[in-house]
Amino acid sequence: MKSGFEENIPKVRPRVRLGRALDEQVAEAKEVAAAESVAPPVVVTEAPPRKNRAASEIANLARELTTELQRATDVNARLKADLDAALNNLRQAADESAEQRTENARLAADLEKRVAAARDLMGEIELIEAERDGALAQVARLSRELREEKSRSERVTEELVTARAELEEAAQSRNALEEIHQALAEARTRIGR
């Protein structure tokens, strides 16, 4: 998970953003410090007794320290808010990256299925083309055989017509012969009487 997170988060930009935020906050703190460092006009009064003056200096130092501490606390709070925002952005980027990886994996699997289906279809198309080519070759062979058979049948038909004509002639000849035989038989019968 960590390596995947690190791969998907640009290594330079977060540092640059955080650096800019820090630079902006440091500049802002310097401006505030410069504005506060301008001392109020000094009012000269009678010098208080030494103890009271020491107590006053301590109180002033305590106030300045408290002010500086408050400023540091404010800067720290702003830095923490910026850090929290940067962490939220990183988490959001990590979530988006995980979603994109999941979507990429789903799309890759879908693409693989479609490629496999396309390969199967190409195989089926090649088989159908081979069957078509075989069927066309068979049709061509059958057409050639049919033409040859038709040519042969025309020769047989001619021979059959000739044979029929010869058969009719033979039948006529036989009828004529039978008539001759009958006439001869009748003639014999008449002669023999």
Other C-beta atoms closer than 10 Å to the C-beta of 68 total 12
For residues 4 and 97, the answer to whether their CB atoms sit within 8 Å is yes
CA distance 47 to 37: 24
Both tokens of 107, joined, read 């799309």
Q: Which of 162, 144, 166 is nearest to 154 (CA)?
A: 162
User: Taking the CA of residue 98 as centre, how many other CA atoms within 13 Å lie in the half-sphere pointing to its CB?
Assistant: 9
Instruction: Tell me the mean pLDDT in the region 66-77.
Output: 93
Burial of 29 (0-12, 13-18, 19+ CB in 10 A): middle
Instruction: Tell me the mean pLDDT in the region 158-171.
Output: 89
Domain residue spans of the chain: 2-36+51-138
pTM: 0.38
Residues 91-133 pLDDT 10s = 999 999 999 999 999 999 999 999 999 999 999 999 999 999 9
